[in-house]
Amino acid sequence: MSKLDTHQFAPLLKSKMSPESYRKLIALENEELFAFVGEFTEHCEPDSVYMCDDSDEDAEYIRQHSLLKGEEKPLTKAGQTIHYDGYNDQGRAPGATKNLVSKELVPLMGALLAKERNEGLAEVRQVMKGIMKGKQAIVKLSCEGPTRSPFSIACAQITDSFYVAHSEDLLYRRGYEHFRLMAPGERFFRFVHSAGRLDEHGNSVDLENRRIYQDMEDYIVMSANNQYAGNSVGLKKHAMRLAIKLAGTEGWLCEHMFVMSVQNEKKGRSTCFCGAFPSGCGKTATAMLPGEKIIGDDIAYFRNVNGEFRAVNVENGIFGIIKDVNAVDDPLIFKTLQTPGLEIIFSNVLTGPDNEPYWLGMGVDHPAKGWSYSGEWFEGKTDDKGVPIPHAHGNARYTLRLGYLENIDPAYNDKNGVPVQGIIYGGRDSDTSVPIEESLDWKSGIILKACTLESETTSAVIGKEGVLAPQPMANLDFISYPIGAYITNNIRFGEGIANAPRIYAVNYFLRDAKGNFLTNKLAKKVWLHWAELRIHNEVDAYRTPLGFIPRYEDLKALFAEIFQEEFSEELYRELFKFRIDPWIAKISRAVRFYHHSAPDCPEEYFEIWKSTAHKLTALKERYGHFIEPGTYSEK
């Protein structure tokens, strides 16, 4: 007899679970897990509770029940299914998402979606009281990062959505055996999710009571009345926010970054880069560059492992935006999505009469009618305001295992992670940042590259500055403790390692006076290979006021080698001239943002930004509006 059989929740769980499910739960001898399952079984009141282990049989149980309940439907290709979220439940819900922190911390959180903890817990628990009545709850254990490694964070999810549980099985490493080997009292993240009341299509009804509340003290997330995976799959961005807070407490880093390796075939070497990009700025396209290898596309943990800056991909799969994935721009992903027999979930795309998926920017003609996120769809369908409804949603997704990709790096599952040698911060502007620039050092890279990162959301007039949104560290939506402290933790972590990665800022979106992009989409491969050569000290660079840029002859050689293309010196000079006025404006916007949104930001950082702007203003008198490549001197 297990000691857990005498626990206060034991009678309730025995009444709700099959003997086999109860056996699997108590076999772990984890009192904290047992209490978590018992507490929320009592609070949410599901009719029954199914406990999963790491077996393929339990994974198949989840998949089949998702189909039986209509949460997913089979598509023509074996292994592929389609899921539809509700019409108004198609993306993250910032208004319903809160970081629950102490009353004293709320004023320091600025733009970080903070809510007083006790008030938030009372509110969300009221919303979730009895929310699972009439349903079966699934308890699924997973692991962020490789199991039993220095990076591992165990996770327990309770959900009444088989689609959510199925998604987690594709996206994360199974964690039952990891829990079995955990020490008594070892921390794990906890997640509770319910789709709530459902309509005839199986979609959440009570969206006005949608809540995604993240308790930053107790490391638990409660998510109610939603289905979109970004809100319901706890181990995705919810766990990321918890991990960012935990990292800030313990002195490591959780970042919104891909992990990939650049392949130098001539030298026979592989060099690992991580990169943070706001949405629409080239993150996935960089991680999936043809000829390179991917380790992860979204979230990375960084730790000091025996004096080395090392990273793991937290996930084991991809929950990717499918819009514009086509055979030309994303050949590897596109090929994978067309392969029968792979377990793939599509969401919120059109399924035609042929029961095949069709999405925006797919590069093939789509049927004139079918079923989509708006229900029955036909060409010319409009919403209640007369606006045409496209055949698929712009935030439609695909979910698949990383191991399906041809370009997966075998190191993606290394328990000690991979050594990181370069960090990339990618923004989007039409007239300021050069295609690639190396920072002077780690601290300068964080303060002047990462903290000033912006994304151009729209362009009011072609050829002029668009509407720029601040995107510090490409992580603003997920930072879960005060921004100033978060920046400081990044600086301290890098400076605490002898050979910290070099930091690069990239921008793929420079335009000419007519509004045309100056380079094509694949030019980023050249910028990345130049960074790889810099890391190995094989090319020199020109100094700029903020770092180092490539020399023309080195880029010319790379364009010839990689693309068999000519790269003109005229284009080089246009791409890499230092634009003084836009940079002064960029730094001024950063100062305003941090004054408004980061009350705890150290004065030292403001002094760096202000002194840099002052320096650039003085350089304008010396050089004019632009500093041509190779002409800058510190003298």
Q: Name 509's Cβ contacts closer than 8 Å, sequence gap at least 6.
A: 281, 428, 429, 430, 456, 517
pLDDT of residue 466: 55
The owner of tokens 């299509």 is: 201
pLDDT of residue 295: 96
Look at residue 461 and tell me whether its pLDDT is greater than 50.
no
Q: Residue 602 and residue 611: Cα distance in Å, rounded? A: 15
The catalytic site residues sit at 281
Residues of the chain with CATH 2.170.8.10: 319-403
Look at residue 71 and tell me whether its pLDDT is greater than 80.
yes
Token representation of residue 85? 């979220």
**Is the C-alpha dihedral spanning 326, 331, 336, 338 positive or negative?**
positive
Look at residue 462 and tell me whether its pLDDT is greater than 70.
no
SS3 121: helix
Q: What is the 3-state secondary structure (H, E, C) of 44-105?
A: HCCCEEEECCCCHHHHHHHHHHHHHCCCCEECCCCCEEEECCCCCCCCCCHHHEEEEECCCC
Can you point out the beta strands (E) in 508-631? 542-544, 547-549, 578-579, 626-627
Q: What is the pLDDT of residues 339-357, one digit of tens each?
A: 999 999 999 999 999 999 9
Look at residue 127 and tell me whether its pLDDT is greater than 70.
yes
Burial class (CB in 10 A: 0-12, 13-18, 19+), 582: middle
Mean pLDDT calculated for residue range 114-130 = 97
- The CATH code of domain 3-70+91-250 reads 3.40.449.10
H or E stretch including 624?
Answer: none
Answer yes or no: are the C-beta atoms of 81 and 67 closer than 8 Å: yes
Number of separate helices (H) and strands (E) present in the chain: 18, 34
Look at residue 463 and tell me whether its pLDDT is greater than 60.
no
The model's confidence at residue 522, banded by pLDDT at 50, 70 and 90, is confident
H or E stretch including 365?
Answer: none
Look at residue 464 and tell me whether its pLDDT is greater than 50.
no
Burial class (CB in 10 A: 0-12, 13-18, 19+), 153: buried
Residue type, 134: G
pLDDT above 70 covers what percent of the chain?
98
Token representation of residue 303? 């730790």
Q: Does domain 255-316+415-627 have CATH number 3.90.228.20?
A: yes
pLDDT of residue 459: 29
Q: What is the pLDDT of residues 191-239, one digit of tens each?
A: 999 999 999 999 999 999 999 999 999 999 999 999 999 899 989 999 9
Look at residue 278 and tell me whether its pLDDT is greater than 60.
yes
Answer yes or no: are the C-beta atoms of 431 and 492 closer than 8 Å: no
Average pLDDT value over all residues in the chain: 94
pLDDT of residue 465: 41
The owner of tokens 């930001």 is: 601
User: Which DSSP symbol is given to 389?
Assistant: P
Burial class (CB in 10 A: 0-12, 13-18, 19+), 570: exposed
Q: Residue 189 and residue 220: Cα distance in Å, rounded? A: 6
Q: Residue 635 and residue 627: Cα distance in Å, rounded? A: 14
Q: Name 77's Cβ contacts closer than 8 Å, sequence gap at least 6.
A: 338, 339, 340, 341, 356
The model's confidence at residue 457, banded by pLDDT at 50, 70 and 90, is low
Q: Residue 565 and residue 554: Cα distance in Å, rounded? A: 13
Q: Residue 54 and residue 46: Cα distance in Å, rounded? A: 23
Q: Residue 482 and residue 597: Cα distance in Å, rounded? A: 9
Q: Residue 263 and residue 433: Cα distance in Å, rounded? A: 26
Look at residue 456 and tell me whether its pLDDT is greater than 80.
no
pLDDT of residue 433: 95
Q: What is the pLDDT of residues 537-573, one digit of tens each?
A: 999 999 999 999 999 999 999 999 999 999 999 999 9
pLDDT of residue 330: 84
Strand partners, 358: 350
Answer yes or no: are the C-beta atoms of 172 and 155 closer than 8 Å: yes
Residues of the chain with CATH 3.90.228.20: 255-316+415-627
Answer yes or no: are the C-beta atoms of 405 and 412 closer than 8 Å: no
| Candidates 1.10.357.10, 2.40.30.10, 3.40.50.300, 2.170.8.10; CATH matching 319-403 | 2.170.8.10
H or E stretch including 157?
Answer: strand 153-159
Strand partners, 89: none
Token representation of residue 509? 């979106």
Query: Which pTM does this prediction carry?
Result: 0.94
Residues of the chain with CATH 3.40.449.10: 3-70+91-250
The owner of tokens 């890391």 is: 535
